[in-house]
Amino acid sequence: MFQLMRRGRRAFVSTLAISVVALSALASPVLAADKTITAVMHSDLRILDPIFTSAYIARDHGYMVYDTLIATDSNFKIQPQMADWKISDDKLTYTFTLRDGLKWHDGAPVTAEDCVASLKRWAAVDGMGQQMMLFTASIEATDPKTITLKLKEPYALVLESIGKPSSRVAFMMPKRLAETPPEKQIPEQIGSGPFKFVQAEFQPGVKSVYVKNTDYLPRKEPASWTTGGKVVKVNRVEWITMPDAQTALNALQSGDIDFMENPAFEMLPSIEADKELKLEILNKFGFQTGARMNFLHPPFDNVKVRRAALLAVNQKDVLDALIGNPKYYRTCAAVFICDTPFATDIGGETLAKGGDIAAARKALAESGYDGTPIVLMAPGDVLTLKAQPIVVAQQLREAGFKVDLQATDWQTVVSRRASQKPPKEGGWNMFITNWVSADVVNPISNVAVGGQGKKGGWFGWAEDARVEQLKDAFVRAASLDDQRKVATEIQKETYDQVLYVPLGQYQAPSAWRKSLSGVLDGPATPVFWNIDKSE
């Protein structure tokens, strides 16, 4: 189980995560006429603003259209992307210098002012960005190509924050778009990335279309995760919406589509047997799936009710329904991912043992729970999110909860979870989501362990002053051992207050036709640069 993750677990380059040997491919070839990659992604794309939402499909869209100042390579090392940087001797000033030839898709040059506005918008809503800003005195454009970030005191995670590979990513946008308040969506998709979004062909629920940005100047280094030369070798990429897994697999086998991000696990044997198809795990670190409660409204505004719900959860039942094959999953009570520097079961002992329904019933009876129905959103259109709500709903019912399991699609969940209204007015009590492991591997990147409440907090809006104090202690810790101690305290607080409920870890293979070459692995999204297609 999880052999690929374990193989690389010893080599940690930073406190952010684990390392792995990644595929990398050198930029080459001549673009032939009319090469189109047709892909079925894990979800339909409806919300296009990757700063407005942390949904992964919006992040994936972001990597097509936008670029980043710096990025993370296959050793979890930060590398230049749009900019190089220097750090002052006192560690208080970070100077980023834009490389030559950067243009927005509308032809305007990329300026430092654009990037400053983009950083500020990103940092207002991203967990790592928010933490970085607590230490930041100013971010300014000191000339058209120079961004100067000054700190009040040294902060070791500046580069790791701005260059992190997954949601929310610090994508650069033109100033006029980046000045949009982060709680509102930007009105158009203008980036400087390797692809251009074709707004005229965008049909939510049907397809999203991208074309090669012929003005994009790739870096000269080999592509590695989200760094290096983003060389586009095809003319066009189309994301086609196919919610039915069997329909998508049939299309892949017939050649009507080229790439399928998340085939159903029961379909993997037939993919392996097809000589025209390749099956591979691109994200070797896998995913954590977890349940988030709404702290603003009954009954989960009561910590005793939350604790009763935690006791009812059995990870193995969830993962058996979601994955089935133990080769691709593991139970794990570590909030910050098993087999990492901050992994521990402390606080999650009952979860690690498979839950305790009898204890859950007793705790719920003593909590004052009045029978308020739990509105649990259940998306049916995403393979890796369909099973969890159904299983968790049944576990909660066995513990004595009343559950209103509301069938919907994932993009509706993405929109609705942002609502702070009561459940009877279109709000919610619980939803379940997945994180790539790189997003939750430490207390700063893991947004679910925040305690900022209604202003600045992640969906669910937990308010917990102690966890915020502990996160501040984590970033000030002088050594990895000190960080581990603080991370353990954060995990204890997470389970004590039930900030969220980890439901286990899994890996998800992708499949594609062998006519595609140069498919890159990474810690987050499938990327479509570096891929070539033979006829």
Q: Helix/strand/coil (H, E, C) string of 443-456?
A: CCCCHHHCCECCCC
Q: Which domains are assigned to the chain? A: 3-241+509-533 (3.40.190.10), 287-506 (3.10.105.10)
pLDDT along the chain (535 residues), means of 10: 38 35 34 82 94 94 98 94 98 98 98 98 94 97 98 95 95 98 96 98 97 97 96 98 94 98 94 97 94 98 98 98 95 96 95 96 98 97 94 98 97 94 97 94 94 91 97 92 97 98 96 98 91 93
Token pair listed for 455: 């202003």
Nearest to 514 by CA among 275, 280, 284, 283: 275
Phi then psi dihedrals of residue 60, to 5 deg: -60, -45
**So what's the pLDDT on residue 478?**
86
Structure tokens at 175: 């100033």
Identity (one letter) of the amino acid at 355?
G
Q: Where are the alpha helices (DSSP H) in 106-213?
A: 112-125, 127-134, 158-162, 175-178
Q: What is the pLDDT of residue 97?
A: 98
Token pair of 342 as six digits:
């901050």
Looking at residue 33, its pLDDT comes to 58
How far lies 409's CA from each of 31, 216, 234, 422, in Å? 37, 35, 31, 20
pLDDT score for 474: 95
Is residue 283 within 8 A of residue 522, CB to CB? The reply is yes
- Asked if residue 299 has a cis previous peptide bond (ω within 30° of 0), the answer is yes
Contact between 328 and 508 under an 8 Å Cβ cutoff? The reply is: yes
Find the Cα–Cα–Cα–Cα dihedral 397, 399, 402, 403, rounded to 10°.
-50
Q: How many CA atoms lie within 13 A of 399 on its CB side?
A: 32
Q: What is the pLDDT of residue 524?
A: 82
Cβ pair 534, 466 in contact under 8 A: no
Supply 199's token pair. Answer: 């707004």
Q: What are the φ and ψ backbone dihedral angles of 179, each rounded to 5 degrees?
A: -80, 0
Cα separations in angstroms, 479 against 76, 191, 369, 458: 19, 39, 44, 28
Q: What stretches of 14-117 adopt beta strand conformation (E)?
A: 36-40, 70-72, 78-80, 83-87, 93-98
CA atoms within 13 A on the CB side of 260: 33
- Is residue 489 helix, strand or coil? helix
Nearest to 389 by CA among 524, 263, 292: 292
